[in-house]
């Protein structure tokens, strides 16, 4: 239950705050006052384990001392000199060159996920051969809410979809297979169709994709899906543009999720996992693309907050800790524990239709019953609010919950969070 001070605070806010907040904020009705590591405290003094890690941003938890120190020192020195070089930028560039695959050796910096997706689309358009004027995307993909990004999003998230000039392919959503087939006897037909409609089309310049579809409830492709599509794109000159805004930075157990599926993107966008919640985004690409004169025209990668010194300081500090403390290894270890525990819950509760995920990124899909698989948003919402009441914060979207704890969590707190989830599931579903 939302405490008294929070209730009063929310009532005061509501007088002037535009509606249209996320489902999490609307149904959670919490006023958070402080974050320390994996723990949040609200205005009434209640504490929560944050298994949404901010909005999948806090890979190091909240207020990591080294990030706070780097940001504070930078805040004392310098805030904005447009995209001129600052002291930390060369360090961050070198760090990214160590963490990312060798072929992605050229970088531009931005401030949000949607902004970096737009930048990638501009590079695609500027470098596309004549006649290749369409862009491929996947059903259930999410890429942001600016117009270029929205063009690739074919579901009404926030506002109505606006499909523009994009071509849509099937995502590997086996639980609700649009072709009504079963894996593996389907022989990954969805991938064959993506190949036919996007990868092999002479008028398509690029396929923009989430290697694992995050906002749609963590859709993890089965073996064979990406292999088939990536090879065909490569052969026919369709650029592979990996939107790793959510997955990039280690959350899936590799620095880029694309690596796990053997996809070698030409461009990759990262944001959430890079700078501990400070607005920051990276466009990583092959030098041949990002340095091509048509793409790299004067000012092409500049904007008011692009290459912002504060963002660079936060990213450098965050990624240094990820590298130094070998946190991606930790993601894999914790991910295995999480998978075992979540599978038990999946088999115990009928209305928990499917649990999917990898590393520290998990989706729970709720249904009214396991046979019809009718989506049950009210159940997801009830589990979400009950979990908050018992001290666990998760991420809510429609009939899905996502779990994405910080990489720095210890095993005892992982266990505690999963115990709280179980308690919430029991309260709602038994
Ligand atoms: C894969 C992906 N791309 C792009 C975005 C848009 O990022 P932002 O909200 O920072 O604009 C998101 C946001 O959740 C995302 O998950």
Please report which confidence band the pLDDT of residue 166 belongs to, taking 50, 70 and 90 as the band edges. Answer: confident
Q: What is the DSSP string of 179-222?
A: T---TTTT-SHHHHHHIIIIIT-TTEEEEEE-SSBTTTT-BPPP
Which of 112, 114, 158, 210 to mutate to test ligand 1, by most ligand atoms within 8 A of the CB atom?
A: 114
| Cβ(379)–Cβ(391) below 8 Å | no
CA distances from 71 to 65, 172, 315 (A): 10, 40, 10
| Cβ(59)–Cβ(327) below 8 Å | yes
For residues 367 and 175, give the distance between their C-alpha atoms in angstroms, rounded to a whole number: 11
* Mean predicted confidence (pLDDT) in 182-207: 95
Residue 214 CA: nearest ligand 1 atom is 16
Residue 5 has what pLDDT? 95
For residues 401 and 429, give the distance between their C-alpha atoms in angstroms, rounded to a whole number: 15
Whole-number average pLDDT of the chain: 96
Which of 56, 148, 271, 274 to mutate to test ligand 1, by most ligand atoms within 8 A of the CB atom?
A: 271
Residue 115 CA: nearest ligand 1 atom is 11
Residue 172 has what pLDDT? 97
Residue 146 CA: nearest ligand 1 atom is 11
Whether the pLDDT of residue 165 is over 90: the answer is: no
- Provide CB contacts within 8 A for 271, sequence distance 6+: 110, 112, 113, 116, 245, 246, 248, 280, 281, 282
CA distances from 181 to 66, 217, 300, 316 (A): 49, 20, 45, 45
Helix (H) or strand (E) holding 353: strand 352-358
- Two tokens, residue 349: 């509760």
- Two tokens, residue 206: 């690029």
Please report which confidence band the pLDDT of residue 212 belongs to, taking 50, 70 and 90 as the band edges. Answer: very high
- Strands 39-42 and 32-36, by their bridges, are antiparallel
Q: What confidence tens digit (pLDDT) does each residue in 245-276 have?
A: 999 999 999 999 999 999 999 999 999 999 99
In the DSSP assignment, the letter for residue 128 is P
Residue 144 CA: nearest ligand 1 atom is 6
Residue 117 CA: nearest ligand 1 atom is 4
Burial class (CB in 10 A: 0-12, 13-18, 19+), 271: buried
Rounded to the nearest angstrom, the distance between the alpha carbon of 117 and the centre of ligand 1 is 8
- Atom 16 of ligand 1, nearest CA residue: 246
Residue 271 CA: nearest ligand 1 atom is 10
For residues 90 and 220, give the distance between their C-alpha atoms in angstroms, rounded to a whole number: 35
| Cβ(375)–Cβ(351) below 8 Å | no
Residue 157 has what pLDDT? 61
**Can you name the residues that pair with 109 across neighbouring β-strands?**
282
Residue 2 has what pLDDT? 87
Q: What confidence tens digit (pLDDT) does each residue in 1-41 have?
A: 889 999 999 999 999 999 999 999 999 999 999 999 999 99
Phi-psi domain of 170 (left: phi exceeds 0; alpha: psi -120 through 50; beta: other): beta
**Do 66-324 and 4-63+326-429 have the same topology in CATH?**
no
For the chain, which residues make up each domain, given as ranges? 4-63+326-429, 66-324
Helices 327-348, 411-429: inter-axial angle, 10-degree rounding: 20
Whether the pLDDT of residue 159 is over 80: the answer is: no
Rounded to the nearest angstrom, the distance between the alpha carbon of 347 and the centre of ligand 1 is 31
What CATH number has the domain spanning 4-63+326-429?
A: 3.90.1150.10
**Can you name the residues that pair with 178 across neighbouring β-strands?**
none
Residue with tokens 């019809």, as numbered in its chain: 372
Rounded to the nearest angstrom, the distance between the alpha carbon of 371 and the centre of ligand 1 is 33
Rounded to the nearest angstrom, the distance between the alpha carbon of 271 and the centre of ligand 1 is 8
Largest CA distance in the chain: 62
CA distances from 148 to 152, 248, 366 (A): 7, 21, 31
Helix (H) or strand (E) holding 319: helix 309-324
Rounded to the nearest angstrom, the distance between the alpha carbon of 274 and the centre of ligand 1 is 13
Rounded to the nearest angstrom, the distance between the alpha carbon of 344 and the centre of ligand 1 is 31
Q: Percent of the chain, pLDDT > 90? A: 94
Whether the pLDDT of residue 156 is over 80: the answer is: no
- Atom 8 of ligand 1, nearest CA residue: 113
Q: What is the DSSP string of 219-247?
A: BPPPTTHHHHHHHHHHHHT-EEEEEETTT
How close are the terminal C-alpha atoms of the chain, in Å? 20
Rounded to the nearest angstrom, the distance between the alpha carbon of 269 and the centre of ligand 1 is 10
Residue 272 CA: nearest ligand 1 atom is 10
Cis preceding linkage at 184, omega within 30? yes
Considering only CA atoms, which of 67, 71, 70, 69 is closest in space to residue 59?
67
| Cβ(53)–Cβ(40) below 8 Å | no
CA distances from 234 to 87, 200, 266 (A): 38, 10, 10
In the DSSP assignment, the letter for residue 176 is G
Which of 245, 268, 273 to mutate to test ligand 1, by most ligand atoms within 8 A of the CB atom?
A: 245
The fold of 66-324 is 3.40.640
Residue 269 CA: nearest ligand 1 atom is 3
Ligand 1: lining residues by beta carbon, under 6 Å: 112-114, 117, 142-144, 210, 214-215, 243, 245-246, 271
Taking the whole predicted model, whether its pTM rises above 0.95 is answered as yes
- Atom 3 of ligand 1, nearest CA residue: 143
Q: What confidence tens digit (pLDDT) does each residue in 43-76 have?
A: 999 999 999 999 999 999 999 999 999 999 999 9
């Amino acid at each position: 239950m939302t405490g008294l001070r929070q209730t009063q605070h929310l009532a005061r806010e509501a007088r002037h705050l535009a509606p249209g907040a996320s489902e999490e904020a609307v149904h959670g009705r919490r006023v958070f006052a402080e974050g320390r590591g994996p723990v949040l405290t609200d205005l009434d003094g209640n504490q929560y384990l944050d298994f949404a890690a901010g909005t999948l941003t806090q890979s190091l938890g909240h207020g990591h001392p080294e990030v706070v120190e780097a940001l504070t020192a930078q805040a004392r020195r310098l805030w904005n000199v447009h995209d001129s070089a600052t002291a930390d930028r060369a360090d961050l560039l070198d760090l990214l060159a160590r963490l990312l695959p060798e072929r992605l050796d050229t970088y531009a910096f931005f401030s949000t996920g949607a902004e970096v997706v737009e930048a990638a689309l501009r590079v695609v358009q500027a470098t596309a051969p004549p006649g290749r004027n369409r862009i491929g995307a996947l059903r259930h993909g999410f890429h942001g809410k600016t117009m270029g990004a929205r063009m690739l999003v074919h579901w009404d998230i926030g506002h109505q979809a606006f499909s523009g000039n994009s071509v849509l392919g099937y995502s590997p959503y086996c639980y609700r297979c649009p072709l009504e087939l079963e894996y593996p006897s389907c022989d990954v037909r969805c991938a064959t169709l993506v190949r036919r409609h996007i990868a092999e089309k002479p008028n398509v310049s690029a396929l923009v994709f989430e290697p694992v579809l995050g906002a749609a409830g963590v859709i993890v492709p089965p073996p064979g899906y990406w292999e088939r599509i990536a090879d065909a794109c490569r052969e026919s000159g369709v650029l592979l543009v990996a939107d790793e805004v959510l997955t990039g930075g280690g959350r899936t157990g590799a620095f880029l999720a694309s690596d796990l599926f053997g996809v070698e993107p030409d461009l990759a966008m990262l944001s959430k996992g890079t700078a501990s919640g400070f607005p920051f985004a990276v466009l990583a690409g092959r030098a041949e693309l990002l340095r091509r004169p048509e793409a790299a025209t004067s000012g092409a990668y500049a904007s008011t907050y692009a290459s912002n010194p504060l963002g660079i300081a936060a990213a450098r500090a965050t990624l240094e800790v990820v590298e130094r403390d070998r946190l991606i290894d930790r993601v894999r270890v914790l991910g295995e524990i999480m998978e075992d525990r979540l599978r038990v819950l999946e088999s115990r509760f009928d209305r928990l239709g499917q649990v999917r995920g990898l590393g520290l990124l998990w989706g729970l899909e709720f249904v009214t019953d396991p046979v019809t698989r009718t989506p049950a948003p009210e159940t997801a919402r009830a589990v979400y609010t009950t979990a908050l009441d018992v001290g666990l914060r998760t991420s809510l979207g429609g009939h899905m919950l996502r779990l994405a704890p910080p990489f720095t969590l210890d095993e005892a707190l992982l266990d505690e969070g999963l115990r709280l989830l179980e308690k919430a599931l029991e309260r709602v579903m038994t």
